[in-house]
Amino acid sequence: MKKLIYLPAFLLFILVTTAKAQTTAVEKKTDSIARLAIKYMNANQPDSVYALTGANFRSQIPSATWATVYSTQLSALMPFTKVEFVKSIGAVNVYKLTGKVVLTYNVSVDSAGKINDFSFVPYQQ
């Protein structure tokens, strides 16, 4: 009988320790912003995505450049149908992004909660 009690507890322990989830406040905030950006991209609202970006991002990529990248490169890969959290590396959340192709989607936010940097690269396991 004791073995039957330990089995569910052991399975719960395995499930909790192996689950991929954001645990820190920064990871959770980054996750929220990352998913909102994808929602806006799928809704064809590149200006709304750009509004989520912070000063560092904007200094590197002006709004006109962002609009061009969105319309000529990203829009061809949409819609994005699934956003799966994979891991965090420092301040960067890494996602598996499924659309017309599978991509790795990397996102970080600044201290103001705005997108500091994000990128899309071909997915590799």
Is the separation of the CB atoms in 15 and 36 below 8 Å? no
User: What are the pLDDT digits (tens) for 88-105?
Assistant: 999 999 999 999 999 999
Q: Domain residues for 84?
A: 23-122
> What DSSP state is assigned to residue 61?
S
User: Which neighbouring-strand residues pair with 42?
Assistant: none
User: Which neighbouring-strand residues pair with 98?
Assistant: 82, 102
Please check the confidence at residue 78 and state whether its pLDDT lies above 50: yes
d(CA 113, CA 108): 9
User: Which neighbouring-strand residues pair with 53?
Assistant: 115
Average pLDDT, the chain: 86
**3-class SS of residue 77:** helix
Is the separation of the CB atoms in 81 and 95 below 8 Å? no
| 4 within domain boundaries | no
CATH number at 94 reads 3.10.450.50
| 9 within domain boundaries | no
Q: Rg of the Cα trace of the chain?
A: 18
| 16 within domain boundaries | no
* Total count of domains within the chain: 1
| 15 within domain boundaries | no
pTM listed for this prediction: 0.80
| 88 within domain boundaries | yes
